[in-house]
Amino acid sequence: MVDNEKAARNKKISHVIMFIVLLVLFFCFVFPFLMVIINVFKTKADITVNPLALIGEHGFTVDNFPNAMQQMNFLPVFGNSVLITCCSTVIAIALASMTAFVIVRNKWKACGLLFSLMVASMVIPFQVLMVPLVSLYGGIFGVLNHRATLIFMHVGFSLSMATFMFHGAIHTNVPIDLEEAADIDGCSRWQTYWKVVFPLLKPTIATVAIIDAMGHWNDYLLPSLVLGRKELYTIPIATQVFYGTYSTDIGLIMAALLLAMLPILILYLFLQRYIVEGVTAGAVKS
């Protein structure tokens, strides 16, 4: 009896300690976001004097938002980011899901080799490829400074991970009996995929969508290499206008960062219920 009480007490203590540790880690992760929220409504002087204060000496202000939008030419820049992110994500999902379907349902050696190469390519860092990539597409083909080029590159770099996740989801969550029943009913292979298989991949689609959209939306390095004209800038590139050589307006930067975070944050909140299910479904490799 004493041993049981001691074990229960130790278990309760361990739970309390774990909760405290998780709470501290949560605060560490959320703290930068809270700093943005707090300081975005202050003047530059108030941020410099006391960035941790909830309200600055000059009071509450929303001037940072219109000023930031004006300086970074927000609407065209926002439109570029939305167009590039949406097109890249939709094309990657369509191509990756179809590729995974073909690989899973066909036991050809070529499919196994292709899948192995795609998985192996996931470990290659982008920094290894960026110089030859820009030299090839800029110096030889001359197709830089085009949104379509950036979309093409985004799709290429995200295709392997998306295919890997769809491969696991189709292999574990889509019974082949459904496809055989659709074939008996007279569906073509194309109709079977879009009407039977693809609707069952919603959790994985949502997971791939949020991962790819977040990556494309926040990407700075690749767009900075591909897009050189100001009218083609995306939000991460446009925020560089606030970083001066001798001075930096922190308030405008905070406003720009918050404007950049809101769309992807809303997308995540909308799709979050699918995230865990989709990651689990796509985490199994045959």
The answer on 85 and 21 residing in a single domain is no
Other beta carbons less than 10 A from residue 172's beta carbon: 16
Quick check: is 178 in a domain? Answer: yes
Helix (H) or strand (E) holding 95: helix 74-105
The answer on 124 and 26 residing in a single domain is no
Quick check: is 50 in a domain? Answer: no
The answer on 24 and 155 residing in a single domain is no
Contact between 217 and 235 under an 8 Å Cβ cutoff? The reply is: yes
The answer on 83 and 170 residing in a single domain is yes
Q: Please tell me the predicted confidence (pLDDT) of residue 18.
A: 93
The answer on 134 and 34 residing in a single domain is no
pTM of the model: 0.82
Quick check: is 243 in a domain? Answer: yes
The answer on 81 and 214 residing in a single domain is yes
Tens digit of pLDDT at every position of the chain (286 positions): 556 777 778 888 888 999 999 999 999 988 888 888 888 888 888 888 888 887 877 778 888 888 888 888 888 999 999 999 999 999 999 999 999 999 998 888 888 898 999 988 888 888 888 888 888 887 777 888 889 999 999 999 999 999 999 998 898 888 888 888 888 888 888 889 998 899 888 888 988 998 899 899 989 989 988 888 888 999 988 888 777 655 677 888 888 888 888 888 888 787 777 666 655 554 444 4
Quick check: is 257 in a domain? Answer: yes
Distance CA 151, CA 212 (A): 12
Q: Please tell me the predicted confidence (pLDDT) of residue 93.
A: 95
- Burial (CB < 10 A; 0-12, 13-18, 19+), residue 201, is buried
The answer on 268 and 126 residing in a single domain is yes
The answer on 6 and 139 residing in a single domain is no
Q: What is the domain count for the chain? A: 2
β-bridge mates for residue 243, sequence order:
248
Distance CA 115, CA 26 (A): 37
Q: Please tell me the predicted confidence (pLDDT) of residue 154.
A: 93
Contact between 226 and 144 under an 8 Å Cβ cutoff? The reply is: yes
The answer on 232 and 155 residing in a single domain is yes
Distance CA 80, CA 231 (A): 9
Pull the structure tokens for residue 30.
Answer: 């959320």
Contact between 156 and 126 under an 8 Å Cβ cutoff? The reply is: no
Quick check: is 18 in a domain? Answer: yes
- Burial (CB < 10 A; 0-12, 13-18, 19+), residue 62, is exposed
Range of the domain at 247: 73-281
Location of structure tokens 């597409």:
137
Quick check: is 61 in a domain? Answer: no
Quick check: is 29 in a domain? Answer: yes
The answer on 94 and 25 residing in a single domain is no
Distance CA 176, CA 101 (A): 11
CATH of the domain at 231: 1.10.3720.10
Other beta carbons less than 10 A from residue 195's beta carbon: 12
The answer on 26 and 155 residing in a single domain is no
Contact between 167 and 111 under an 8 Å Cβ cutoff? The reply is: no
